[in-house]
Structure 1
Amino acid sequence: MMHSCIIFASIYYPESAKNRRDLVTYLQKTVDLLRAFYENPAIVLAGDFNQTKKSWLASCLSLKQVVNFPTHESGSILDLILTNCETYYQTPESLVPLACSDHNIVLWSAAASIPNPKIKRVKYRSLIDSAICTYGRWIATYPFPEVYGDKSLDKKCQLFNEVLHAKYLEFFPEKTFTRCESDKPWIPPPNQETNPKKVQAFPRRRFAKCEKIAKSDYLSHEKSHDSLRHTNPRKWHRAVKQITGKSIHNSIKISHPDGTYTTVDEVNQYFTHIWNSFPSPTQAQKPEILDSCADEGEVVIDEMTTYKTLMKVKVNCSAYPDELPPKLIREYAPFIAKPLSVLINLCFRIGIFPAVWKKAYVRIIPKVTNPKSCDELSPISQTPCLAKVAETFIMRVLLDQIQGSIDQRQYGGLKDCNTSVYLVKMYDSLLKWVEKGHSFVDLGAIDFRKAFDLINHIVAALNLKLMGAKKKTLTLVLDFLRQRMHRVFALYEGDTNSKWSSSTCGAPQGTKLAAIVFLPVINFLIADYDDRYKFVDDLSFILKYLVQSGVVTPQFSSNFFSVETSRR
C-alpha cells in the first residue's frame, strides 16, 4: 500500500544517558500515535543512537534498520536509519567523516525509479435492486418445464441449474473495476477510480461528501467487531484482516529444492491418489450390501419444508461456480422451493444423487504456517448450494433411522453435542476416579489419519445397515459417495484450477453427510469399554489403575482395544 505522507525525525541520544529504555518507550508511543493519526505514513528515524541495541529497537518500532556498515571510528554501528519505506531508497553508502568528526557520513539516496503501485482488475456482478426485481419477475412466472419432463434425473438437475444461471448472467451483467493498492479501504469497489482524469472531472465537493459517508459507514462497521475481541478470537482475527484489507486465505507455495513450487495439478494428483485407495462398490456388490435391509415408505419432502430450509442458507458464504449466489437463492426461495422439492423427492424415489451435484471444487487449507509437503494440507470441498439443501434432507432421514444405534459416547456430528460436552464428560470421569485415593489413570488419545479421505464405502454401508439404515436411504447415500468429481482451486494469485478427477473412496470434507457417514465407521470401536469418548474422528479413553499394598492392579481387560477385521 502506498504511503499517505512522509515523517522524518532526527535523533541524538547521548552516550552518557543512563536509562535507554526511556528512549525506546518514547519513540514507541510517538510512532504509534503518528500511525493512528495518519494512514500508513512513511517513517524515517535517523541519527546517532550510540550503543542502543538496533535489533531490539527496530523490533519494538516495527521498522527496518538499513545501515549495515560501521559508522564510527571504533568499528561500531552507532548511526542508524529506521524506516518502513526502504524500497524507495538505495542501499546506504559510507563517506569520509566531515572535518574532525569521528562519525562517517551516511548517504541514503533515493531510488532511480519509484515502483508503480500495483493495479488489479477485478470482475464482479453487482446485485443491485433493479436487477434483483427483474430476475424476480422472470422466476415468478417461469414454469420450469425442465423439471417436470420425461428426462433423467441428472439431465433435469443440469437443465434446472443451467436455466437459473443463464438468467443470472443475463440480468446481472459482469463489470470490471481497477483496484490500486493506495485505495482507501472504506471506498466500495464501484466508487473507486484510479484514472486521474476521471477523478479530476468528478466534482470535488460531491466526492468528499460521498467519501465522508462511506468512511462513516465503514468505521461504524469496524466498531461492531469490538465485541468479537473477547467472545470469539477466531472471528476477531478474520475481521481485523478484512478491515486492514489483507486476504483471509494466504497463498500456498510449497517450494522444491530446485526453486520451483508445487503445482495445483500435483496437489490434485496427491489427493486423488488418496481418494482412490479403496474401490467403490460395484453393481454386483450392491445387492449383497442392500440385502436384508428393511424397506421403508416413500419419503416425501413438501414444498414448505424445502422453502424453510432454503431460507436458512448462509448468504455470507462464497458462491459455487456456475450457480446462483447464496443471497439470490435465499431471495428467490419461494419460487425455487417447488421445483427443488420435486427433484429431491425423485432422488429418494430412485436412489440416485445427481451427478451435477457431486462435483466439488476443493479449497486447500494449510495445517501449519509454512507447509513443506502436501501431507500438511487439508482439502475442503465446496459443493453446490442446492446440493447442500438436498444433503440436509438425506441427513435428517438417515439420522432418524440410525439414531438409536449410534454410540452413546459419540459427541460429534449430532445435535446438542459439542467439544465442551465431550471434554466435561471425560474430565468428570477422570476426577471421580482419582479422588478415590490410591489410584491413577492413563489417558489415551487417537486421531485417525486422513479419516474422511480414507472411508471405505463398503465398510460404511455395511455398518449403516447394521445400525438400521433403510434400503432406499442407504442406496441414496451410496450413490452420493460414488463417482464423485473434484478439482483443486488455484493455490495462489495468478495460478489456475486443476483438472477434473474422480474418486472411489472417502467422503468430501465440507459436506454435511461426511461426518454422518464416518460415524458408522468408528461406531463399533471399543464399544464395550465404558471409559471411551468419541468426537467424530477423535477417540479418547481412560485406563484406570488401583494401588493396593504397593501393587498396581489395572481395572480394565488387556484386550479391551480390539478391532474386528470385518469392520476395518
Structure 2
Amino acid sequence: MRARTIIPKKSSIEIAFRPFRESNIRAFGEEITSTSWSYLLEHPTVEDMASDFQDSLSRMFHLHFPLVNVKRRSRDKPWITKRILSLIKERQCAFKSNRMAHYRNLRNRVKREVQVQKDHFYSQKVMILRKSNPKSWHQQIRSITGMNKRATSLPGCEMRPIDQANLINGHFARICSQLPPLDISTLQYFLPASQPPPRVEAYQVHQELRKLNASKSCHHDDVPVRLITEFAPELAEPLAMIFNSSLESGIFPDCWKNSDIVPIPKTFPCNSVDLLRLISLTPTFAKVFESFLTKWLYQDIRNKIDKQQFGNIKGSSTSHYMISLIDSILKGFSALQHDESLRSQGITLEIGRAKNINKNPVAEKAVRELEDELLRDDPRGGPVTPLALALATARLNSRIRGVGLSARELWTQRDQFTSEQIPLRDMDVITNQHEKRLSNHGPSMESKAPKRLSSMGESLVHVGDLVYLRSDRTKTQARPRYLVCSVDNDWCNIRKFVGSQLRSTSYRVRRSDCLKVPPGIPTSHPSRPRVSDG
C-alpha cells in the first residue's frame, strides 16, 4: 500500500481596500462639484442637516471608490502585487500544458515585474529611512521581516468578541453614568445669551480643512482626509451652513458624537479593565467644528488662566515648566542663604554671583572634559549618540585623577583592575579636596586678575563712580554702565544704567573687576544737528 503525501495548503487571508485611482478621484470631484447643497437649509433641525450631508458624502465615496477584495498568502513578500500573482498563475498553466515557448515568455515577464516592484518597494520603504530616526528603522525592519508585535490579551479574552466589547464599554460608561446630568435651569443667569453667537464663514472652514493631516487615522464612517483636503473649497460652504445652524440652535449633531474606541493596555500583561487606556477616533468634521469652539472659549478665559498653567496651552510645554521650577528653587535657596536653623546644623548655602562668569567652576570643568573626550573620539564632531555618550562617560570615570584614584574607585572604594578593597574614608577625601581648593584661591585670583591692576594694587573705584565690567565684553553693542552704590573692602555693590534710568537690582562684584569710565566720555549720545531744507 503506497502512502500518500499530503501537502498542506498555504493559508491565505482576504484583504479588502478601496484603491484611489485618478479616474475615481476625478469622477468623485465632478459629482461633488456639481452638487448644490442649498437643500440642506430645508431641514427643520441641525441633526437632519448633518445626517443628510454625511450620508450623501458616504454614498458618493462608496459609489466612486468600490471595495476590492484581494487574497494574500501569509508567506507572500511585501512587494508581491495582484499583477504578479496573475502572471505566475498563467506561467504555471503554460508549464502544465507543455507550451514551453509561452512559458519562457511568461517566466521572463514575471522576473521583470518582480524586479520593478522590488525597486519601487525599496525606494518607498527603505531608502526613505536614511533620513528618519532609529525608531522608524526598527519599525520598518519588523514590518519587512514579518516580525509581529507581541500578543496583547485583553480582559475577558475567554468571552465572545461581542461580549468582551460590551464588558469594556460598560466599565468606561459606568464612570460617566455616575455623574449627574447637566441641569439647564442652573444656567438661567447665562441663558438667553445677551449677544448672538458668532458666525463661521466658508473661507474659515476652508482654512481649517486644509490644515488636516492626511496621515492620521479617521472615523470608519468618514470620507478619507485625503479627499477632504483636496476638495476643501467644495465642502467648506455646506459645513459652514451646518456649523452656523448648530450655533443658533445650541444643538451638536448626534452623528458627530459617535467615536471609535480602541483599548490600549497600560501594562503587560493586562489582567484588569482598569489597566486599559482608551484611544478615541472622533469624526473629522466634529474636530473641525470643535477647533472653532476652542478658539472662542480660549479668548474668553485667557485672562482668567493661571500664569503657572503650562498644560494644554499653545506655546508652552514641559520645558517652560522646568525653567519655572528651577527659577523657584533658586529663589528659595536665596531666601535660605542666611537661615539660622541651617547654620545651627553646620549647613551654609553659597549662592553664585550673577556677574561672575566662573560661579560654577566644578560643573563647567566637568562639561569641558566631556566635550574634549567626545572630540577625541570623533574630531569631526556631529550629533552625539547615546552609545558615544556612554563610552565617553565610562572613559572619564576610569581615568586616574590627581589623588591617584579614578572616579569609579572613589565611588566603589575598590581597585578598578583587581577589585581589591581600598582603605579610604569619604571624609578624608572631602577634607583634602577642600583644603587644596582653598590653598589655590590666592594664586588663581592673581593669575586671572588683569596685569595692570596686579601692579597698582587696590582699584581706585569709589562710591558714585560710573564703571564698566570686564565680563560684559561684546561685539554687538556698547558695554552697559553701572553706578557704584557702596564699597566694602575689596567688594562693591553696583546698579545698572539703562538709558537715563537706574535699575533697582544691585550686583555684588569685586572692585578689581570694575573699569572706571573715563571723564571725557559723555554719559548720553549727543543729539544730531538737523539739516535745514535750504
TM-score by length of 2: 0.55
Q: 1:114 Cα shift?
A: 6.6
Q: Does 1:223 align with 2:123?
A: no
Partner of 2:344: 549
Q: 1:183 Cα shift?
A: 1.2
**1:212-361 equivalent positions in 2, closer than 5 A:** 212-221=115-124, 222-229=126-133, 233=135, 237-245=138-146, 251-254=152-155, 263-287=164-188, 290=190, 295-361=194-260
Taking structure 1 as reference, are residues 259 and 285 closer, same or farther at Cα in structure 2, changes over 3 Å only? Answer: closer
Partner of 1:163: 56
Taking structure 1 as reference, are residues 195 and 379 closer, same or farther at Cα in structure 2, changes over 3 Å only? Answer: farther
Taking structure 1 as reference, are residues 252 and 388 closer, same or farther at Cα in structure 2, changes over 3 Å only? Answer: farther
Partner of 1:490: none
* Structure 1 CA distance for aligned equivalents of residues 159 and 222 of structure 2: 38
User: Percentage identity across aligned positions?
Assistant: 25
Taking structure 1 as reference, are residues 227 and 114 closer, same or farther at Cα in structure 2, changes over 3 Å only? Answer: farther
Q: 1:413 Cα shift?
A: 1.4
Give the 3-state SS of the residue equivalent to 1:430 in structure 2: helix
Contact 2:154/2:265 (<8 A) preserved: no
Q: 1:237 Cα shift?
A: 4.8
Partner of 1:193: 85
- Structure 2 letter corresponding to 1:224: I
**1:458-477 equivalent positions in 2, closer than 5 A:** none
Partner of 2:265: 366
* Structure 2 CA distance for aligned equivalents of residues 169 and 354 of structure 1: 23
Taking structure 1 as reference, are residues 148 and 378 closer, same or farther at Cα in structure 2, changes over 3 Å only? Answer: same
Gaps of 5+ in 2: 94-104, 348-534
Taking structure 1 as reference, are residues 260 and 141 closer, same or farther at Cα in structure 2, changes over 3 Å only? Answer: closer
* Structure 2 CA distance for aligned equivalents of residues 439 and 268 of structure 1: 59
* Structure 1 CA distance for aligned equivalents of residues 11 and 178 of structure 2: 45
**1:509-524 equivalent positions in 2, closer than 5 A:** none
Residues 113-169 of structure 1, C-alpha deviations (whole Å, 9 max, x = no match): 775443110111111110000010011110024422132100000000000101111
* Structure 1 CA distance for aligned equivalents of residues 84 and 153 of structure 2: 29
Taking structure 1 as reference, are residues 207 and 275 closer, same or farther at Cα in structure 2, changes over 3 Å only? Answer: farther
Contact 1:178/1:192 (<8 A) preserved: no
Q: Does 1:203 align with 2:106?
A: yes
Match of residue 173, structure 1, among 61, 66, 80: 66
* Structure 2 CA distance for aligned equivalents of residues 296 and 410 of structure 1: 30
Contact 2:197/2:248 (<8 A) preserved: yes
- Structure 2 letter corresponding to 1:118: S
Partner of 1:516: none
Q: 1:301 Cα shift?
A: 1.4
Give the 3-state SS of the residue equivalent to 1:353 in structure 2: coil
Taking structure 1 as reference, are residues 223 and 141 closer, same or farther at Cα in structure 2, changes over 3 Å only? Answer: same
Q: 1:211 Cα shift?
A: 2.3
Taking structure 1 as reference, are residues 259 and 142 closer, same or farther at Cα in structure 2, changes over 3 Å only? Answer: closer
> Which deviates further from its counterpart, 307-316 or 116-125?
116-125
* Structure 1 CA distance for aligned equivalents of residues 41 and 305 of structure 2: 38
Taking structure 1 as reference, are residues 414 and 301 closer, same or farther at Cα in structure 2, changes over 3 Å only? Answer: same
- Structure 2 letter corresponding to 1:152: T
Q: 1:317 Cα shift?
A: 2.0
Contact 1:299/1:349 (<8 A) preserved: no
Taking structure 1 as reference, are residues 240 and 437 closer, same or farther at Cα in structure 2, changes over 3 Å only? Answer: farther
- Structure 1 letter corresponding to 2:127: K
Q: 1:438 Cα shift?
A: 6.0
* Structure 2 CA distance for aligned equivalents of residues 433 and 370 of structure 1: 44
Q: Does 1:137 align with 2:30?
A: yes
Partner of 1:384: 283
* Structure 2 CA distance for aligned equivalents of residues 439 and 277 of structure 1: 53
* Structure 2 CA distance for aligned equivalents of residues 317 and 247 of structure 1: 22
* Structure 1 CA distance for aligned equivalents of residues 146 and 209 of structure 2: 31
Residues 290-318 of structure 1, C-alpha deviations (whole Å, 9 max, x = no match): 36x97344412111111111111111122
* Structure 2 CA distance for aligned equivalents of residues 397 and 270 of structure 1: 34
* Structure 2 CA distance for aligned equivalents of residues 408 and 399 of structure 1: 14
- Structure 2 letter corresponding to 1:547: L
Q: 1:268 Cα shift?
A: 1.1
Partner of 2:18: 125
Match of residue 296, structure 2, among 383, 386, 397: 397
Aligned residues: 330
Q: 1:199 Cα shift?
A: 6.0
Tell me which protein shows more strand as a share of its residues: 1
> Which deviates further from its counterpart, 142-151 or 192-201?
192-201
Contact 2:79/2:121 (<8 A) preserved: yes
* Structure 2 CA distance for aligned equivalents of residues 139 and 199 of structure 1: 44
TM-score by length of 1: 0.52
Q: 1:227 Cα shift?
A: 3.5
Taking structure 1 as reference, are residues 250 and 392 closer, same or farther at Cα in structure 2, changes over 3 Å only? Answer: farther
Q: 1:549 Cα shift?
A: 2.4
Contact 1:146/1:159 (<8 A) preserved: no
* Structure 2 CA distance for aligned equivalents of residues 245 and 330 of structure 1: 33
Taking structure 1 as reference, are residues 396 and 266 closer, same or farther at Cα in structure 2, changes over 3 Å only? Answer: same
Contact 1:179/1:194 (<8 A) preserved: no
* Structure 2 CA distance for aligned equivalents of residues 428 and 548 of structure 1: 23
Taking structure 1 as reference, are residues 196 and 399 closer, same or farther at Cα in structure 2, changes over 3 Å only? Answer: same
Contact 2:90/2:106 (<8 A) preserved: no
Taking structure 1 as reference, are residues 342 and 244 closer, same or farther at Cα in structure 2, changes over 3 Å only? Answer: farther
Contact 2:87/2:110 (<8 A) preserved: no
- Between structure 1 and structure 2, the one with the greater Rg is 2
- Structure 1 letter corresponding to 2:295: R
* Structure 2 CA distance for aligned equivalents of residues 127 and 250 of structure 1: 32
- Structure 1 letter corresponding to 2:92: Q
Residues 397-451 of structure 1, C-alpha deviations (whole Å, 9 max, x = no match): 11111111112111121211122222333234335534776699xxxxxxxxxxx
Contact 1:310/1:330 (<8 A) preserved: yes
* Structure 1 CA distance for aligned equivalents of residues 338 and 74 of structure 2: 64
* Structure 2 CA distance for aligned equivalents of residues 439 and 314 of structure 1: 56
